Amino acid sequence: MARFDEVKATFWGEGLYGVQPPLTDQAVQDAEVQLGVRLPSSLLELLRGQNGGVVAARWDAFPTDTPTSWSEDHVPLDMIMGIGRHDGQSSLLDTGYLVEEWGLPSPLVLLSGDAHCWIALDYRVCGRQGEPSVTWFDTDMNSELALAADFRAFVEGLTSAEGFGVDGSDGDLPTH
């Protein structure tokens, strides 16, 4: 398992897709008011390095012991949304709309996803000011899977999807 600082130093992939303007203290305060939660300091550390975007291939998967609709042994993390409103890019600020649109529980902050599956900060147990766990939500299967006790542990558990024999072409379960 990697240490948070090691992952943070090499977390972001190349390109500007999903990248918001540099994160300011005011943007964080505004986001926390709009979302109605306290965002984890470890998430803000990552977003201060780059405010959202594509995750490097070295850190694009989180292993699971339970199969999901995506895979028998992991969930993908191709990008993390930043905080802001830049050129129609998805943002953590879209959480309220997306949670309602896809019938997800609340309070959550969506980090990554494609409407069918989401990775989210889950505030249901800790409360809006607590340290949220990280949960995988599958809207098609109406299921959820706890991934990590907090965001830092989630980041430290990330690994490369290549290690799972994934070619990245789709999310279908492998056939045996």
Q: What is the pLDDT of residue 42?
A: 98
Per-residue pLDDT, averaged over 7-32, amounts to 96
- Is residue 172 pLDDT above 90, yes or no? no
- The CA distance from 149 to 131, in Å, is 9
101: how many CB neighbours lie within 10 A of its CB?
A: 11
Contact assessment for residue 116 and residue 136, using Cβ atoms and an 8 Å cutoff? no
In this prediction, residue 154 has a pLDDT band, given cuts at 50, 70 and 90, of very high
Percent of all residues in the chain with a pLDDT value above 90, rounded to a whole number: 82
**Identity of the amino acid at 69:** S
Q: What is the pLDDT of residue 127?
A: 96
2 or 90, higher pLDDT: 90
In this prediction, residue 2 has a pLDDT band, given cuts at 50, 70 and 90, of confident
DSSP-derived secondary structure for 52-83: SEEBPGGG-EEE-SS--SS-SSEEE--EE-BS
- Is residue 166 pLDDT above 80, yes or no? no
Structure tokens at 116: 């069918």
Among residues 23, 149, 138, 17, which one has the least CA distance to residue 84? 23
Render pLDDT for 102-118 as a digit per residue (tens, 0 to 9).
Answer: 999 999 999 999 889 99
- Is residue 7 pLDDT above 90, yes or no? yes
- The CA distance from 153 to 102, in Å, is 26
In this prediction, residue 176 has a pLDDT band, given cuts at 50, 70 and 90, of very low
- Is residue 38 pLDDT above 70, yes or no? yes
Q: What is the pLDDT of residue 89?
A: 84
Global pTM?
Answer: 0.91
